[in-house]
Amino acid sequence: MLTCGIVGLPLSGKTTLFSLLTGYTPPEGKPSAIAMADVPDVRVDILSAMYQPRKTVYGQIQITDLAGLSEGTGKSAAFLNSIRPAQALIHVIRAFEGDYPHPLGSIDPLRDFNIVNHELLLADMALVETRLDRIASASKVKGPDKEQLPVLEKCLNHLLEEKPMSQLQLTEEERQLLQGLVFFTDKPQLLVVNLAEEDLGTNPPWLSALKTVSSEKGWRILTLSAKIEMEISQLNPEEQTVFMAELNISEPGTALVAREAYSLLGLIAFFTVGTDEVRAWALKHGDTAVEAARTIHSDLARGFIRADVMSYEDLNQLGSEIAVKEKGLAHLVGKDYVVKDGDIVHIRFNV
Ligand SMILES: Nc1nc2c(ncn2[C@@H]2O[C@H](COP(=O)(O)OP(=O)(O)OP(=O)(O)O)[C@@H](O)[C@H]2O)c(=O)[nH]1
Ligand SMILES: [Mg+2]
């Protein structure tokens, strides 16, 4: 399952985005909250209309919302630990004036971006230092601890130079030694810039700077207005279409967030279909049919025989599985078949 943690300065719109994505509004004052979000996918909607299943399941992302990080708290912010295991960070950056003043008194997205990343770096530094302290306080340093020592020092020196862990070259052996230590500065980020409503569709000068840093790091960035998203979410589908057309936006920003999180992590979607259930599953780009089987259930991987595969595109175009088969576009594939985004997969197995 894909897991994301939301980070950002206080009052940037994190909880608003979290509620929009998950449909769950946490009680005020809680330092963290966790809920699932659907990954909207029109292909699932169309397959569902085709099969009329009892159950339709979209791709899922587990999202953790956090209280805002303030400058200088990174080292001590224990609540950050609730997102240590997350695969990616959704970093919300405030670019709207709003009713509550910005905690730093002005709107400066690039500054805020740097502050949050610096706090994450401090939190990583604290992690390494704690580990080093623990080793130092042991009466006798031995075994695995002793082996870990040099690589921990390497990490600390790197972080002291204000460099993220993602930029540290480590050998496979060093990585092994660090197992169990999870770094914030090693996680990819999806930057969500929370624009003022009137700035939607514009390109403020600081935005290009943010886009540049983001693409240098291989991260993703998108802009939305959480306030507008709230308004969209309260309309019925027809009203939504009209409202979004007026604003010149093609789909809700929340749909984009979920999709971008997928591609940030190099994930694709494959589908299983039937009258019982139509379901989207996430898979790493480049993974094979047997990995797809494992995603569904470990028994399917263990007893994997072959998989029937057709593409969503073909099925949608031709209208039925029979038509796809008649055209010779359905394939029986083995374990090593590389699953493509949009594949409809049926696993044949025997356990
Ligand atoms: N005008 C405007 N107000 C917004 C927008 N997004 C959020 N807000 C408001 O800003 C305030 C803070 O929003 P939250 O979503 O609670 O912010 P947060 O980042 O979770 O804040 P903390 O959890 O305290 O760090 C609320 O009053 C929101 O209604 C926006 O896009 N435009
Ligand atoms: Mg909040």
Residue-wise pLDDT for 182-219, tens only, equals 999 999 999 999 999 999 888 899 999 999 999 999 99
Ligand number, closest to the Cα atom of 26: 2
**Residue-wise pLDDT tens digits, 46-77:** 999 999 999 999 999 999 999 999 888 877 77
Which H or E run contains 66? strand 59-66
- Cα–ligand 1 centroid distance for 98 (angstroms): 8
Query: Read out DSSP for 105-157?
Result: SS--HHHHHHHHHHHHHHHHHHHHHHHHHHHHHSSS--HHHHHHHHHHHHHHH
254 lines ligand 1 (CB under 6 A): no
pTM recorded for the entire structure = 0.92
Q: Name the token pair of 189.
A: 């980020």
Would residue 327 count as lying in a domain?
yes
- Residue 265: closest CA among 70, 27, 4, 12: 4
- Cα–ligand 1 centroid distance for 309 (angstroms): 45
Residue 319: strand, helix, or coil? coil
The single-letter DSSP state of residue 58 is -
Residue nearest to atom 23 of ligand 1 (CA): 67
Which H or E run contains 39? strand 32-39
- Cα–ligand 2 centroid distance for 271 (angstroms): 34
Instruction: Return the pLDDT at 141.
Output: 67
End-to-end Cα separation, the chain, in angstroms: 24
Residue pair 92/64 in contact by the 8 Å Cβ criterion: no
Would residue 63 count as lying in a domain?
no
- Residue 42: closest CA among 278, 244, 246: 278
Residue pair 305/351 in contact by the 8 Å Cβ criterion: no
| Residue linked to tokens 């992690």 | 127
- The one-letter code for the residue type at 142 is K
Cα separation of 159 and 168, whole Å? 9
Where does residue 201 fall: left (phi above 0), alpha (psi -120 to 50 degrees), or beta otherwise?
Answer: left
223 lines ligand 1 (CB under 6 A): no
Would residue 208 count as lying in a domain?
no
Domain region containing 341: 286-349
Instruction: Return the pLDDT at 289.
Output: 98
Residue pair 299/319 in contact by the 8 Å Cβ criterion: no
- Residue 178: closest CA among 149, 158, 135, 143: 149
Ligand number, closest to the Cα atom of 10: 1
Would residue 280 count as lying in a domain?
no
Residue pair 63/4 in contact by the 8 Å Cβ criterion: yes
- Cα–ligand 1 centroid distance for 99 (angstroms): 9
Instruction: Return the pLDDT at 247.
Output: 87
- Cα–ligand 1 centroid distance for 93 (angstroms): 11
Residue pair 92/17 in contact by the 8 Å Cβ criterion: yes
* Ligand 1 atom, smallest distance to 228 CA: 31
Would residue 303 count as lying in a domain?
yes
Domain count, the chain: 1
40 lines ligand 1 (CB under 6 A): no
13 lines ligand 1 (CB under 6 A): yes
Residue nearest to atom 14 of ligand 1 (CA): 13
Cα separation of 46 and 60, whole Å? 18
Cα separation of 97 and 77, whole Å? 27
* Ligand 1 atom, smallest distance to 226 CA: 31
Give the CATH number for residue 301: 3.10.20.30
Would residue 74 count as lying in a domain?
no
Ligand number, closest to the Cα atom of 102: 1
- The one-letter code for the residue type at 198 is E
Cα separation of 175 and 111, whole Å? 32
11 lines ligand 1 (CB under 6 A): yes
Residue pair 280/41 in contact by the 8 Å Cβ criterion: yes
226 lines ligand 1 (CB under 6 A): yes
48 lines ligand 1 (CB under 6 A): no
Would residue 58 count as lying in a domain?
no
183 lines ligand 1 (CB under 6 A): no
Would residue 3 count as lying in a domain?
no
Cα separation of 135 and 142, whole Å? 9
Residue 82: strand, helix, or coil? helix
Residues of the chain with pLDDT under 70: 141-142
**Average pLDDT in the chain:** 93
Residue pair 91/7 in contact by the 8 Å Cβ criterion: yes
Residue nearest to atom 8 of ligand 1 (CA): 13
- Cα–ligand 1 centroid distance for 118 (angstroms): 22
